[in-house]
Amino acid sequence: MIFYVMSRLKSLFNEKGFYELDFIGKISMGELYRCPECDTPIAIKPTLPPFNIKLKGKNFGDLCAGVCYEFLVSKRFAALWKESGLMGLEILDYPVNIKKTGKFKNIDTPEYIMVRPDVTLTHLNEKESGLIIKDSAGCNKCKLSTRKKVERLRIDESTWDGQDIFYLSGLYGVLVVTEKFVEFVEKHQFTNFVLVHQDDYNE
Ligand SMILES: [Zn+2]
């Protein structure tokens, strides 16, 4: 399987001015995701409803990203996702309350749905990805570490459960998708997805 990195940051700070997601008011967080073997946190806490947000930008894309693990997708994306047979995205069926401020006050806002990718214990093939570890924090199950360098993305497929979108435990904070996910985005021309081929990814 060919994998891609979905860059939430590049979508958040996009050049085309697509709307970005910002939570407002009191935010409820869930429990930390932890490795079942060594108890090390493998991801930040999930954001829980109510989803009170504001949007900043100029154009409505099919994706509105923020700094949280969750993100907003258009109603069209959510509907087609449900029919797609792809796996790894939880559709959070709670209202998204969008506060409109300033000059955007009178703009009609399309309906958005909050989604959360799976947090998994999938990790890298460390040798093939050229991972240089700074400090190891986890165990063999989660492979959690801080990194000096990653030359490319190579998933250890024996640790992958077949999701088409997921956070890795062995590459903290990085969101990975399959080529099937990329085909889905291209086929329906969803906007504001920045997808980096596994050979072109490095940090
Ligand atoms: Zn662990």
CA of 121 to the centre of ligand 1 (A): 9
Cα distances (angstroms) measured from residue 70 to each of 14, 124, 141: 17, 22, 24
Asked whether the beta carbons of 148 and 202 are under 8 A apart, the reply is no
CA of 155 to the centre of ligand 1 (A): 17
Cα distances (angstroms) measured from residue 44 to each of 31, 33, 111: 9, 7, 26
CA of 34 to the centre of ligand 1 (A): 8
CA of 186 to the centre of ligand 1 (A): 36
| Closest alpha carbon to 90 in 156, 164, 23, 31 | 164
CA of 142 to the centre of ligand 1 (A): 4
pLDDT at 40 over 90: yes
Kindly report the pTM of this predicted structure. Answer: 0.94
Q: Residues 109-130: pLDDT tens digits?
A: 889 999 999 999 999 999 999 9
- Give residue 53's pLDDT band: very low, low, confident or very high (50, 70, 90): very high
Mean pLDDT for 101-112 is 77
CA of 73 to the centre of ligand 1 (A): 32
- Inter-helix orientation angle 75-84/179-187, to 10°: 130
CA of 135 to the centre of ligand 1 (A): 14
CA of 172 to the centre of ligand 1 (A): 13
| Confidence at residue 109, expressed as pLDDT on a 0 to 100 scale | 82
CA of 137 to the centre of ligand 1 (A): 8
CA of 169 to the centre of ligand 1 (A): 9
| Confidence at residue 187, expressed as pLDDT on a 0 to 100 scale | 98
Q: Residues 144-197: pLDDT tens digits?
A: 988 899 999 999 999 999 999 999 998 988 999 999 999 999 999 999 999 999
CA of 9 to the centre of ligand 1 (A): 27
Which of 13-27, 63-77, 114-128, 145-159 is least confident? 13-27
Structure tokens at 80: 């087609």
Cα distances (angstroms) measured from residue 39 to each of 29, 33, 45, 88, 135: 19, 9, 14, 23, 17
Mean pLDDT for 69-80 is 96
CA of 154 to the centre of ligand 1 (A): 20
| Confidence at residue 158, expressed as pLDDT on a 0 to 100 scale | 96
Strands 3-6 and 195-197: antiparallel
Q: How far apart are CA 11 and CA 191, in angstroms?
A: 10
pLDDT at 102 over 80: no
| Closest alpha carbon to 119 in 64, 41, 62 | 41
Residues 6+ apart with CB under 8 A from 192: 11, 14, 16, 18, 61, 62, 63, 64, 65
CA of 85 to the centre of ligand 1 (A): 30
- Give residue 55's pLDDT band: very low, low, confident or very high (50, 70, 90): confident
Which of 72-76, 115-119, 132-136 is least confident? 132-136
pLDDT above 90 as % of the chain: 75
| Confidence at residue 104, expressed as pLDDT on a 0 to 100 scale | 65
Q: How far apart are CA 142 and CA 130, in angstroms?
A: 18
DSSP alpha helices (H): ranges in 20-150? 75-84
Mean pLDDT for 95-111 is 80
Cα angle for residues 15, 72, 191 (degrees, 5° grid)? 40
| Confidence at residue 174, expressed as pLDDT on a 0 to 100 scale | 93
Structure tokens at 182: 């990329």
